[in-house]
Every structure is written in structure tokens, then in C-alpha cells.
Amino acid sequence: MTLLSLFWSFAQVGLFSIGGGYAAMPLIQAQVVDIRGWLSVAEFTDLVTIAEMTPGPIAINAATFVGLRIAGVAGAVAATFGCILPSLLIVSLLARIYSRHQRGLVLQGVLGALRPAVVALIASAGLTILWQVLFQGLPPVRANFQWLGAALFAAAFVILRKLRWSPILVMLLCGAAGLGIGFLETLP
């Protein structure tokens, strides 16, 4: 039953996550944290970090990680297959339709209408992660505010936007800074 639950949960994610991996993150969080309770919010944040750092699509990496954690290798296969099956079927159908009607106004209108929805899903995923970093999922009061997380976020944002450094390098530097600060906090 667990394998079927993993497959069905990630099939829903795969079916409704139009726009790619980051757009899928709120849907994955809803399935994995809110509905099924397989992970806590803190574990989900770790999942996002691991899925981002691992080569490959973030939604598939997340599905594989959750499946492996819940039901071992069989769970990883069930969750991953559930995640990719809807996309495989939909893209195959759309490729056939698009090749026949690529200049049609209706198709162009549909594609134009999907753009704002994708932006909203990506923004939702980003704000959820930012909330977790800044407030650690607690109520937003000044005592819960994580100044160090805010400073790292602001520094990374400026470096990415103004200096145009590689996102991979910025992620590695932020990770190293977080490890270093965590190590310093454990010292007497």
C-alpha cells in the first residue's frame, strides 16, 4: 500500500507541476508534509537542498529521495515513476498537437496564459524556503528572526544579481558559510 501511495502522491505532483521542478516544490510539500506526513517542514527544507545539489531535475530527485526514505529502493522507483509518468504522457500528446497546430492562435493563447501560473508556483516555493530560513517555521516575531540567514540571503542575492557570479559557486559559498557559522556556534 505504501508503494501505491508513493506512486499516487508523486503522480499528482507530476500531473499538476506545470513549469518544472521549482514549480513542483509547493505540490511536493503539500503531499509529503501536509497530507501524508512523511516529512517534517525542516526535513522538507533539507530535501529541497539535497534535491537542488544533486544532478538532475529537482522534482525527480525529490521523489527519489522521499521514496527511498519511506520504502527503500522499491519506494524510490515507485515515487520516481509516478513523478515522470504524467509528464511523459502529456509531453508526448502535446508534441503531436504542437507539430500540427504550432502557428494557431489558440495554442499561443494557452501557452501565454500558463506563464503567470508558473511564475506564481515558483515564487511560492521560494517564499516557503525563505520563510523556513528566516523564521525556522515559527511565528514571525522578532525573537524568531534569523539574522544570519537574512544576511546570507541578502549577500547571495546581491552577488548573483550585481556581480553575476555562478549560482553554483554562490550555493557552495553559502553552504560553507553556514557550516562555518554552525561550527563556531558549537565552540565554548
Grid cell of 181 as nine digits: 557559522
pTM: 0.57
pLDDT in tens, 109-144: 877 888 898 888 888 888 888 888 788 777 777 777
Grid cell of 3 as nine digits: 508503494
Helix, strand, coil tally for the chain in percent (to 5): 85, 0, 15
pLDDT in tens, 27-83: 899 999 999 999 988 888 888 888 888 887 888 899 999 999 999 999 999 999 999
Grid cell of 10 as nine digits: 508523486
Amino acid, res. 109 = G
